[in-house]
């Protein structure tokens, strides 16, 4: 399966533990294409439709609904968890995601 950065997939996140986001839900692939094209895992950030405003969450529209990319729940998953491609993140949203990741992990 060819997976690219910033594509959105429906992913089965179960089983989980504790406060981890669970069930089948859309997720953004945030790992770089060099990784995506050469190994069997991808780094993802799940989407949720119910959230408070946190600095680690990016508000977007997905399938006509308001959602949040939950960057405080970034995780690595095997590609076998990816069920179906659902779209791709828009350029403006990609910029927002990059800024939050940089603020969270670099600065």
Say whether pLDDT at 64 is over 90: yes
Distances (CA, A) of 104 to 17, 55, 58, 77: 23, 9, 12, 21
Q: Name the architecture of domain 7-105.
A: Roll (2.30)
| Residues constituting the chain | 107
Indicate whether this model's pTM tops 0.85.
yes
Q: Return the ∠ at Cα 9 (arms to 2 and 100), rounded to 5°.
A: 105
What would the pLDDT profile of 3-13 be if each residue is shown by its tens digit? 999 999 999 99
Q: What is the pLDDT of residue 53?
A: 78
What would the pLDDT profile of 2-48 be if each residue is shown by its tens digit? 999 999 999 999 998 988 888 999 999 999 999 999 999 999 999 99
Q: What is the pLDDT of residue 8?
A: 98
């Amino acid at each position: 399966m060819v997976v690219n950065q910033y594509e959105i997939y429906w992913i089965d996140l179960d089983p989980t533990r504790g406060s981890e986001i669970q069930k089948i839900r859309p997720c953004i692939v945030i790992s770089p294409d060099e990784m995506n094209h050469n190994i069997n895992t991808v780094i993802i950030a799940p989407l949720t439709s119910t959230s408070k405003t946190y600095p680690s969450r990016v508000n977007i529209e997905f399938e006509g609904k308001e959602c949040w990319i939950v960057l405080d729940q970034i995780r690595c998953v095997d590609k076998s968890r990816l069920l179906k491609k659902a779209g791709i993140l828009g350029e403006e949203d990609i910029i927002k995601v990059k800024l939050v990741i940089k603020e969270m992990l670099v600065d």
